[in-house]
Structure 1
Amino acid sequence: MSEQIIEQLSELVSPAYADCDAQSLLIRSSALVSCLKSLNRAANTATRTKKDETTAARQEMDQSHLGLQNLLYEKRHLEREIEKCRQFASVYQDIPLYTMDEFKQLAPEEARTPAALEDEHQLMLNRLSFELAERQRLNVKRLELVQAKEELLKRSRTNVNTLDSVKSHIDALVKTASDIQKKVDELVQPLPASDDSISMVTG
């Protein structure tokens, strides 16, 4: 379109239009120049629009690229954290647990359902919970046994004290009885014989 207008303007200065009215040529050239300016403005507007669209597309692409970089960074971070978790040696790995056979026999029914036994994570949680409950139960039992032992020791000490007291009383009674026996023995000793009694016996 612009090329056609430029050709038409070129024709106006050609010898073919040498005899034409100058006013007519001016009007026609002005109209052609106006068309040319209009086309130029339209071209500039279209160029600015395309530039704006290109800038917006580039910004969107940059934003998407930045988002992708952030996601890749987060992915690498999560992968490192997962690897740390996999390499983490938890204390539960060193806890002596009931064997699986013992767990299946002793654990509550809800802790050893088929679904729980198939889920490795849930199974470990259930085994740890059961181990904790059993240790708490055994600890209570141990405390009860310790209290019973202390009660028996207390009774034993009381009995020993009572036995010592009785023994002391018996020893005192034995000593008293021994002293009384000595006095009785002294009282019942035979009297010394007189001369008359001797003569009566001999006569």
Structure 2
Amino acid sequence: MVSTEGELKQALTTLSKLSDLKTPTDDEIHTPESRQQAFQLLTASTLLFSTLKRLNRIIYTDVQSQKTRVAEERSKVDTARLALQNLKYEEAMLELEVKVCQEFQSIFQTIPLHSLEEFNTLRKSLGEEEVDEEEGEQDDHKLMLARLKFELKERKRLETEKQKLQQDKTEVARENKEKKVKLEETEKQLKDLLAAALAVQAKLESF
């Protein structure tokens, strides 16, 4: 089967040959041979131009199809490029978030915590389950949460004890103040009694 390109080359070659045919003179135009030749030339030219038109339509359709495919492929490339840019942007954002998280200084890093040994000892003294050291090393996050939770609980307990001691201190101070007032009143009463006794003694001695 002849390709479109081959068929076009054949048509153009034939057209070139037809154009190279000798043009008859005025005397030869009216001869039967010239008329026969002109008729053959017209027939061949008509078929040739019909072929050229058909090939032109085929080529035009093929060009349009190629343009459509190129546009589709370009669109795919643009979409892929945009998706790649989005992925690179997301990657950059994730890397930035990871960096921020790595550089983040949480408040728990500044909290003084009991050592793991003290932590387990205190938990045991309070009747709580110990945290196995190997298990803690395998899951630092859970261990840190447990230590922070225990630290919070301990601080609340100590704060409660502190408040109780402050209340006891306030109560003792109040009682001491009351006792001091009573003592001062007693001393005043004793002084008054002593003064009265001395006055009575003086009167008795005057008789």
Structures share a fold, TM > 0.5? yes
Distance 1:35 1:116 in 2: 87
Is structure 2 residue 50 aligned with structure 1 residue 34?
yes
Q: Percent identity?
A: 34
Distance 2:122 2:58 in 1: 88
Is structure 2 residue 199 aligned with structure 1 residue 171?
no
Superposition map of 1:176-195 within 5 A: 176-187=196-207
Could you tell me which of 11, 15, 26 is aligned with 1:5?
11
- With over 3 angstroms needed to count, the CA separation of the structure-2 counterparts of 1:115 and 1:57, relative to structure 1, is farther
**Structure 2 counterpart SS, 1:96:** coil
**Cα shift at 1:19:** 6.7
Superposition map of 1:50-199 within 5 A: 50-107=66-123, 108-109=128-129, 112=131, 118-187=138-207
- With over 3 angstroms needed to count, the CA separation of the structure-2 counterparts of 1:105 and 1:47, relative to structure 1, is farther
Distance 1:44 1:112 in 2: 81
User: If the length of structure 2 is used for normalisation, what is the TM-score?
Assistant: 0.74
Q: Can you list the C-alpha shifts for 1:54-107, whole angstroms capped at 9, x where unaligned?
A: 122123212312322332233233323322332233332221112112223445
- With over 3 angstroms needed to count, the CA separation of the structure-2 counterparts of 1:178 and 1:105, relative to structure 1, is same
Distance 1:83 1:18 in 2: 94
Distance 2:116 2:50 in 1: 95
**How many residues are aligned here?**
185
- Equivalent position amino acid for 2:79 in 1: Q
Distance 1:166 1:74 in 2: 85
Distance 1:122 1:70 in 2: 36
Q: CA RMSD in A?
A: 2.9
- Equivalent position amino acid for 1:173 in 2: L
Distance 2:36 2:95 in 1: 85
Q: Can you list the C-alpha shifts for 1:110-151, whole angstroms capped at 9, x where unaligned?
A: x94886663222322332222222212211221111111101
Pick the structure with greater CA Rg.
1
**Structure 2 counterpart SS, 1:135:** helix
User: If the length of structure 1 is used for normalisation, what is the TM-score?
Assistant: 0.75
- With over 3 angstroms needed to count, the CA separation of the structure-2 counterparts of 1:40 and 1:153, relative to structure 1, is same
